[in-house]
Structure 1
C-alpha cells in the first residue's frame, strides 16, 4: 500500500522557516527592554505572562503580572471575542512576557493582527526581567 502525500506538503513554495516568521513578527513590534517595560507597566500598561504554569513554577513568577497562557491569549484580548477579558481593548497597551522573548514576539504580533495595535514584548523575556528583581 502506498501513501500519497499532497504536493503542498512536499514543496517549499509559500512556506517560511520559524526564523523568518519570528523576524517578520519582530519587525512589526516596538520591543522593550525589561527596564522600559517596567516603566510602562508602572504607567498603566498590562504585563501578560504567557508561560505555562510548570515553567512559572520552575523559573519564578513576576508578581502582579496577568497570567494568560499562550493557548488562549487571542481569545482573552480580542475585544470581539465572547471569551475576552473585561480589560480587552484595541487600544490597550499589552506587554507580552515569555521565558526568553521568542514566543512572546509571535504572541504580540498575533495580538496586533487582531487590532490590539499597542501589543509588544520584552527582549530577553522573563529571564532578562528577572535580573531587575
Structure 2
C-alpha cells in the first residue's frame, strides 16, 4: 500500500507523512547519484522552480521538470512523457532544493509504477556542497 493511501479518517501531519514516505525509499547520496548518472544507470530529474535554478545553477545532464509536471513527464504510459521516460524500470533520482519535496514526489512516481524512483538526500544544495558538477548561472560566471 502506498503511503498516500492512508485509512479514511486518519489525519497525518507533514512531518509524519514525510517520515512514512522516506521509510519506503532507498534514498541516495549526491556522490552515489552522480556515479549512477555517470554509469548511465540513473536519470537525474531536477524539480526546482525556475528562480532557484536561475539563482544556483543546474546539474549538467539533469532533466528539468518542474514539480507540477513531474507525473505527466515521467509516466512511461503518458501522452506527454519525456523521451527519457520510456520504462517503468527506469531509475529516476528526483531532486529538489534541499531534499524534502523530492521525497514526496517519489511517492507519487512509485504509485505510477516507477518502482526504482528515489530522491537525492539533501537535494541540490547537498550536491553543490559535495563539489559535484554545477553549471552556474550566466550572471555568476562573468
Asked if Structure 1 and Structure 2 have the same fold, meaning a TM-score greater than 0.5 normalized by the shorter chain, the answer is yes
CA RMSD of aligned residues (A): 1.0
Which of 119, 128, 131 is residue 117 of structure 2 equivalent to?
Answer: 119
Q: TM-score, normalised by structure 1?
A: 0.87
Rg (Cα) greater in structure = 1
Which of 23, 26, 42 is residue 27 of structure 1 equivalent to?
Answer: 23
Question: Equivalent residue of 2:28, what SS?
Answer: coil
Q: Quote the Cα distance in structure 1 between the aligned partners of 2:83 and 2:55.
A: 30
Q: Quote the Cα distance in structure 2 between the aligned partners of 1:43 and 1:110.
A: 26
Q: Quote the Cα distance in structure 2 between the aligned partners of 1:41 and 1:95.
A: 9
Partner residue of 1:69? 66
Question: Equivalent residue of 1:48, what SS?
Answer: strand
Determine whether 1:95 maps to 2:93.
yes
Residue 28 of structure 1: how far off its partner (Å): 1.2
Partner residue of 2:75? 78
Partner residue of 2:13? 17
Question: Equivalent residue of 1:108, what SS?
Answer: helix
Q: Quote the Cα distance in structure 2 between the aligned partners of 1:115 and 1:24.
A: 18
Structure 1: give runs of 5+ residues left out of the alignment: 1-12
Partner residue of 1:38? 34
Question: Equivalent residue of 1:123, what SS?
Answer: coil
Deviations 1:3-55 (A, max 9, x none): xxxxxxxxxx4111011111111111110111111111111110000001111
Deviations 1:81-105 (A, max 9, x none): 1111222220000000110000111
Structure 2: give runs of 5+ residues left out of the alignment: 1-8, 133-142
Question: Equivalent residue of 2:93, what SS?
Answer: strand
Partner residue of 2:104? 106
